[in-house]
Structure 1
């Protein structure tokens, strides 16, 4: 080339800058990769040394989630044929004691005395009726008889001898429960109590 652009000497001028930026980028990228590999290795080491603790924690959490509890045993109640019932009429209506006693006999109960209620109860019971029995009958024979007479009051008499029960018919008495309703009431008495769906073990 001639003129003012004439090149002289044996060295040529550089037409572009040196590639320093490219080298810098390569160095930064390599450093980032090295840090990433180092971090990943560190995590792997942590998992190796803490893996047992994690598994134990997971096992404990699993134990806390769901462990079915044992069902409550079914209540053992006596059969009607083993229960003796004395039927007394405490109302002014006649014939209720015998009629009720006959129905209870058809349902399997043993019948004892039948007649008018004692003076302490005669004409003094406003509800459906009162069921009397010894303390031992509270959770055994009394509930079985009560299933036949919905709304009857259950009472125990301290020091009462024997196992027989008294049924005192009250003014609100309209008859014994229907056989189907009595059977359903007995089924509820003998059904096991609902068990919790899960239990917590040292959670």
Structure 2
């Protein structure tokens, strides 16, 4: 061409296709992610099909079944505090003043004190052990275990016909003293701890 449109020089523009580096990078990342997902899924499938077998072999199972025992740590009903328990202290021994002495010590430890005196004819001089803890049927899992921490060797009895919430501590001829306060406090703390309760077993074959 001539005139003002004449091309001068020895370099000419070259027509190139736009580079696609962005697409290549995106494709590479997508492929890597896909391979990772496939590998993870494969491991999960292997674990599902072989994991239970390993557990069964370790447990010595010969029938191809596994047994699972679940347990829960839900605590049982909390024991009553000593301040909510009324104790009648009754002396079934020939030793005078033993009921009042024992009642005073229980009061120091937080218990409510009811009647203090001699045991009835049914128990008077007829309790060879350290004592008898007597209460209504409802006291078997509430008041009596708490009172037993103060006199561990005492026998526990309930009377279904008994009314009220008070419990009796009937002192027997084998009584020497209440449990030492530090020991009684530790027993109370253990009584208040929740204990795990086993649930039904499940078998899968």
| TM-score bucket (shorter structure) | 0.5 to 0.7
Partners of 2:54 and 2:203 in 1: CA distance: 10
Partners of 2:100 and 2:69 in 1: CA distance: 54
Instruction: Measure how far apart 1:150 and its partner are.
Output: 1.7
Residue by residue over 1:100-134, the C-alpha shift from the partner in whole angstroms, topping out at 9 and shown as x without a partner, is 00000011110000000000000000000000000
Q: TM-score, normalised by structure 2?
A: 0.65
Gapped regions of structure 2 (runs ≥ 5):
1-41, 59-67
The answer (yes or no) to whether the contact 2:75–2:196 under 8 Å persists in 1 is no
The answer (yes or no) to whether the contact 2:71–2:196 under 8 Å persists in 1 is no
Write the mapping of 1:112-151 to structure 2, written as runs, cut at 5 A. 112-151=114-153
Partners of 1:182 and 1:52 in 2: CA distance: 54
The answer (yes or no) to whether the contact 2:151–2:178 under 8 Å persists in 1 is yes
Partners of 1:78 and 1:164 in 2: CA distance: 12
Residue by residue over 1:42-97, the C-alpha shift from the partner in whole angstroms, topping out at 9 and shown as x without a partner, is xxxxxxxx998644223445887898733241541111110000000000000000
Partners of 1:72 and 1:52 in 2: CA distance: 33
Partners of 2:123 and 2:108 in 1: CA distance: 26
Partners of 1:53 and 1:110 in 2: CA distance: 65
Identify the structure with the greater helix proportion: 1
Partners of 2:50 and 2:202 in 1: CA distance: 15
In structure 1, the residue matched to 2:161 is 159
In structure 1, the residue matched to 2:49 is 57
The answer (yes or no) to whether the contact 2:72–2:196 under 8 Å persists in 1 is no
Gapped regions of structure 1 (runs ≥ 5):
1-49
In structure 2, the residue matched to 1:46 is none
DSSP 3-state at the match of 1:69: strand
The answer (yes or no) to whether the contact 2:134–2:156 under 8 Å persists in 1 is yes
RMSD: 2.9
Over 3 Å counting, the alpha-carbon distance change for 1:60 and 1:188 in structure 2 is same
